[in-house]
Every structure is written in structure tokens, then in C-alpha cells.
Amino acid sequence: MTANTTLDAMVHAGKALYFASQMLPCTPDSLLLGYTSREMVGLEANEPRVWGHFLEKNLLYSTTPFLVQKYVGERPNVPEIDKTCPGRVGQWVGLQIVRKYVAEHPEVSLGRLMAEKNAQRILNESHYRPKRD
């Protein structure tokens, strides 16, 4: 699948991580994502700020490969959000969106989730909205 927008790439990566977490239920998110426990704590604490960055900068619907890569691809950190924000933060946000979608739709099987190609539908129907402090 070629991701057209940042949102497509985020949700696609989120589905892959969610699938891995279902196949390896004892594996912590830090291991799935390759983050340190400190990075995980920081992301969880700053989830509204991270999501806010994507919204405020209108990044979700960007089709610029450089921008998509910047947030979803491999890099040491994402200083555009914060110097301590780990790379691939878009993958982590994608996983949060997919988990929220699954929580809202327990009837959706893993196979049906993986077959769903519409990232916008997954976002809309997840009602993903991290609470701002």
C-alpha cells in the first residue's frame, strides 16, 4: 500500500503495530515501537500536545513525501514537536487511533480491521481525541 497522506501512513503503521501486538500479546509497546520506557512515558504524558501538533500544522492530509517521512519514518527524534519526542511518532499516534477504533467497535474482527483501507473512516469512527491538560 502506498500512503498518500500522513494520516494514511500513520493508520497503516498503526494497524501493523496493532496486528503485532495481537500476535505477541506479552510484548510491551516499548519493544514493538523500539522506544525506551522514558520515551513511552513522555509520549503518553504529552499525547494531546503531539496530536495537537499534527492538527495545528495541518499535517494529517499532507501528501508531501518529505513531511510524511518526517513524522512516520525512521529518525532519532522529532524536534518539530519537541527535542525529546522520539522518531516515528506518527506510527505511535496511528496505533493510538487504531486502538481507540477497536475499543469503539468491538465487533470488528482483526481481519476486517486489516482489510479496511480507509484511514479517514478509521479516524472518524475511532473518536480519537486526546484530552488536553
Tell me whether residue 80 is in a domain. yes
What's the whole-number average pLDDT of the chain?
A: 95
Q: For residue 40, what pLDDT is reported?
A: 96
Residue 92 backbone dihedrals phi, psi, to 5 degrees: -65, -45
Percent of the chain clearing pLDDT 70 (strictly above): 96
pLDDT value at 131 more than 90: no
Tell me whether residue 131 is in a domain. no
Residue 77 backbone dihedrals phi, psi, to 5 degrees: -155, 175
85: which DSSP letter? P
Quick count: other Cβ atoms within 10 Å of Cβ 76?
A: 7
Q: For residue 133, what pLDDT is reported?
A: 54
Mean per-residue pLDDT, 117-122: 97
pLDDT value at 76 more than 80: yes
Tell me whether residue 12 is in a domain. yes
Domain that holds residue 79: 6-126
Q: How far apart are the C-alpha atoms of 65 and 71, rounded to whole Å?
A: 10
Mean per-residue pLDDT, 63-92: 95
Percent of the chain clearing pLDDT 90 (strictly above): 95
Q: How many domains are contained in the chain?
A: 1
Specify burial of residue 102 (Cβ count, 10 A radius: 0-12, 13-18, 19+). Answer: middle
